[in-house]
Amino acid sequence: MANYDFKTFDGKVTASREWLAKEYRGLRTGRASPAILDSVAVSAYGSMMPLKQVANVGVEDARTLRVQPFDAALLKDIERAISAANLGIGTSSDGASVRVSFPELTSERREQLVKVAKGKLEEARTTLRIARDETWKEIQVKEQEGTLTEDDKYSLKEELQKKVDKANEELEKAFEAKEKEMST
**pLDDT computed for residue 2 by the predictor:** 62
H-helix segments, 27-106: 51-54, 75-84
Architecture (CATH level 2) of domain 7-25+106-183: Orthogonal Bundle (1.10)
The CA–CA distances, whole Å, from 97 to 40, 75, 79, 86, 147 equal 16, 7, 9, 20, 64
What digits encode the pLDDT tens for the residues 31-68?
Answer: 777 888 888 889 888 889 898 889 998 888 888 889 99
pLDDT at 30 over 70: no
CATH number of the structural domain 31-101: 3.30.1360.40
Domain ranges of the chain: 7-25+106-183, 31-101
Which H or E element spans position 125? Answer: helix 107-145
